[in-house]
Amino acid sequence: MQQLTLFSEYTPVLPVTYYSNFLSLEQANELYQHCLKLEWQQNQIRIAGKTMPVPRLECIYGDYGCDYLYSNSVFLKPLTWTDALSKLRDRITALTGYKFRIVIGNQYRTGTDSIGWHSDNEPSMGFNPAIASLSLGGVRKFQIKPRNGKPTDFWLEHGSLLVMHPGCQSTHLHQVPKTNKVVGTRINLTFRPHTGGGR
């Protein structure tokens, strides 16, 4: 497995670690097929007083009671872990040492599906969460920048894992912008901690 720590022109080092071949091609293909069958939802988000569809599909799996609210408007209630997702969670924990209680899936159907600049700082994840982001399918540009800084661009490959270390969500923003290019469906799984729920 190749491990690459990403360096940025603008910060001494980005608070992320990228594993390009976290999964073998065969494992990534199998997981992609599994993820296509997850319970995807088209959620609505409220921004500046307007309700609109989230520009991608979402799903959530995790421990009982680990409900998740983001942007003060999108409420996600976890379904029980599938075997494949809990095995993957444990494998990521074995690699990184970070523990996770939920996984939120994003499905980018075409290049017009996206996620804008944000950080993942919902209080339900606790202080300075580590978040591990697994990518499957079509390769999309991912950008990360220090708050008020310039972005570093890179591409998250099929079967890759990007780990955002504790502190990253306080100091940096990230996004997956829209693209005019023809791209295949991309699935992203973000493994996150959670402070609530039963244990």
Ligand X SMILES: O=C(O)CCC(=O)C(=O)O
Q: How far is CA 161 from CA 55, 124, 144, 188, 193, in A?
A: 23, 23, 15, 10, 16
| By CB under 6 A, residue 169 contacts ligand X | no
Choice between 65 and 116, CB closer to ligand X: 116
The label of the residue with tokens 């399918």 reads 137
In the list 145, 158, 172, 174, the residue contacting ligand X (rule: CB under 6 A) is: 174
Dihedral Cα 160, 165, 169, 173, nearest 10 deg = -40
Asked if 134 interacts with ligand X (CB under 6 A), we say: no
Binding mask 137-166 for ligand X (x = CB under 6 A): -----x-------------x----------
Query: Whole-angstrom Cα distance, residue 71 to residue 158?
Result: 28
DSSP H or E run through 60: strand 57-62
| Site for ligand X, residues 88 to 107, rule: CB under 6 A | 104, 106
Answer for which of 23, 66, 103, 176 binds ligand X (CB under 6 A) is: 176
When binding is defined by CB under 6 A, the residue of 88, 160, 190, 193 that contacts ligand X is 190
Please give the Cα distance from 137 to 144 (Å, whole number): 20
Classified as helix, coil or strand, 14 is: coil
The answer to whether 120 contacts ligand X (rule: CB under 6 A) is yes
Residues at the interface with ligand X (CB under 6 A): 104, 106, 115, 120, 133, 142, 156, 174, 176, 188, 190
